[in-house]
């Protein structure tokens, strides 16, 4: 594999980790953050640009990148797991890849998503991930560039499903964190993860994603990782709310971003507008808003109308 010039946008936990993976493969790596570095200088000769910016910074960074002269062959990769609300009820929320594609219509956009807790990868532990794009050649280029003996990268043509899996699981991870914080046991956790996956698939297929994608690494895989690890910031939000802390205090003390807090808001707006059943996400929303205690959220889920497991 030829060595590439790779620019990572965002020097947070994930950007720094991806920079390490890319550097270990011998690529020429530039890690850019808002605090330092001139975008024009770093982007000029980039083969790959990987954005690991959190959702709240995506539009601002995309706008800056859009003002810079970029080589025509540059492939953009988005690793953000978030949703941006839109103002109209007729429009779906925007995914990070859609924001990148709108600003850079002539460049291939690739989504990177999977069960990738950054601290484990930084320790050199093995992990797998998925790259997805409408441009299969671009996805294959990113796969080859990032794959190593510590990081196995698969391709998937379902870009929407791969991006949504990594995003929607954060809401369920908050619910599961609360379940563990309340010490509700393994049966309850298994029920939440399984019914959470059903909820993710319901939303994802409404959006147009393929259901089978959600059983892959970027769906079930990432759901299992985040719901089973105290390293997950989203899990931590739920866990600490269940310990009686306020959301403000939890976020203030959290190391890094918990995208699920914003994603829950955007998802609930969509679910209400489009009448998509997301009972777990609804309880997470009420919990985050302080409208319900974790114990009352559990009771509300247990006492719902009787349902068949599969429709």
Residue numbering of the annotated binding site for NADPH: 14, 34, 81, 118, 233, 259
Smallest gap from Cβ 131 to ligand NDP, in A, equals 13
The annotation places the binding site for sn-glycerol 3-phosphate at 81, 114, 169, 222, 232-234
C-alpha 304/C-alpha 311 separation (Å) is 16
What is the b/e burial string over 136-153, where b = at least 16 CB atoms within 10 angstroms of the residue's CB? eebbebbbebbbeeebeb
Helix (H, G, I), strand (E, B) or coil at 127: strand
Closer to ligand 13P by CB, 42 or 130: give it. Answer: 130
Q: Which does 80 bind (CB under 5 to 8 A by kind): ligand NDP, ligand 13P, none?
A: ligand NDP
Question: Which one of ligand 13P, ligand NDP, none is in contact with 222 (Cβ closer than 5 to 8 A by kind)?
Answer: ligand 13P
Stretch that binds ligand 13P, among 131-139, 152-160, 228-236, 303-311 (CB under 6 A): 228-236
Report the alpha-carbon distance of residue 67 to residue 58 in Å, rounded.
15
Among 15, 177, 216, 238, indicate the residue that binds ligand NDP (CB under 6 A).
Answer: 15
* Residue 79 touches which of ligand 13P, ligand NDP, none (Cβ within 5-8 Å per kind): ligand NDP
Tell which residue, 97, 109, 52, has the closest CA to residue 257.
Answer: 52
Laid out side by side, the sheet with 75-78 consists of: 28-32, 5-9, 48-51, 75-78, 109-113, 127-132, 151-156
Place of tokens 């970029």: 70
> Euclidean distance between the first and final Cα of the chain, in Å?
47
Strands 75-78 and 5-9: unpaired
Residues in region 269-298 near ligand NDP by CB under 6 A: none
Catalytic residue IDs: 169
Q: Strand (E) positions, the chain?
A: 5-9, 28-32, 48-51, 75-78, 109-113, 127-132, 151-156
**What angle is formed at CA 292 by the lines to CA 288 and CA 275, rounded to 5 degrees?**
70
Residues 6 or more apart in contact with residue 130 via CB below 8 angstroms: 111, 112, 113, 114, 153, 154, 155, 156, 162, 216, 217, 218
- Binding ligand NDP (rule: CB under 6 A), the pick from 19, 47, 54, 147 is 54
Contact positions with ligand NDP (CB under 6 A) in 74-103: 79-82
Stretch that binds ligand 13P, among 83-91, 200-208, 231-239, 299-307 (CB under 6 A): 231-239
x-or-dash string of contact with ligand 13P, 186-225, rule CB under 6 A: ------------------------------------x--x
From the list ligand NDP, ligand 13P, none, pick the one residue 234 interacts with, judged by a Cβ distance below 5 to 8 Å according to partner type: ligand 13P
What x/- string results for residues 197 through 236 when contact with ligand NDP is judged by CB under 6 A? Answer: ----------------------------------------
Compare residues 79 and 298 and give the one whose CB is closer to ligand NDP.
Answer: 79
CA separation for the pair 283, 291 (Å, rounded): 9
Residues binding ligand 13P (CB under 6 A)? 81, 115-117, 170, 173, 222, 225-226, 232-234, 259
Sites of contact with ligand NDP (CB under 6 A): 10-15, 33-35, 52-57, 60-61, 79-82, 116-118, 256-257, 259
């Amino acid at each position: 594999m030829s060595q590439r010039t790779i620019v990572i946008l965002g020097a947070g936990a994930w950007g720094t980790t991806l920079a390490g993976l890319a550097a270990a493969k011998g690529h020429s790596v530039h890690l850019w953050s808002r605090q330092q570095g001139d975008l024009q200088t770093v982007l000029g000769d980039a083969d790959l640009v990987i954005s690991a910016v959190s959702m709240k910074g995506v539009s601002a960074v995309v706008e800056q990148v859009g003002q810079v002269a970029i080589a025509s062959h540059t492939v953009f990769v988005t690793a953000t797991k978030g949703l941006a609300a839109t103002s109209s009820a007729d429009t779906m929320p925007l995914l990070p890849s859609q924001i990148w594609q709108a600003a850079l219509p002539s460049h291939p956009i690739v989504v990177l998503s999977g069960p990738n807790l950054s601290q484990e990868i930084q320790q050199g532990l093995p992990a797998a991930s998925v790259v997805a794009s409408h441009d299969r050649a671009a996805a294959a280029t990113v796969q080859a560039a990032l794959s190593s003996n510590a990081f196995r990268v698969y391709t998937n043509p379902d870009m929407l499903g791969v991006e949504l899996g990594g995003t929607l699981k954060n809401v369920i991870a908050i619910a599961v964190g609360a379940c563990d914080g309340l010490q509700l046991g393994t049966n309850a956790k298994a029920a939440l993860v399984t019914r959470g996956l059903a909820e993710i698939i319901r939303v994802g297929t409404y959006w147009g994603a393929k259901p089978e994608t959600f059983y892959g690494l970027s769906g079930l895989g990432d759901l299992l990782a985040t719901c089973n690890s105290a390293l997950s910031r989203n899990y931590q939000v739920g866990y600490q709310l269940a310990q009686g802390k306020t959301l403000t205090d939890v976020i203030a003390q959290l190391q890094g971003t918990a995208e699920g807090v914003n994603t829950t808001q955007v998802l609930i707006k969509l679910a209400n507008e489009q009448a998509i059943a997301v009972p777990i996400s609804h309880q997470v929303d009420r919990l985050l808003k302080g409208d319900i205690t974790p114990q009352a959220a559990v009771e509300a889920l247990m006492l719902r109308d009787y349902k068949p497991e599969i429709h």
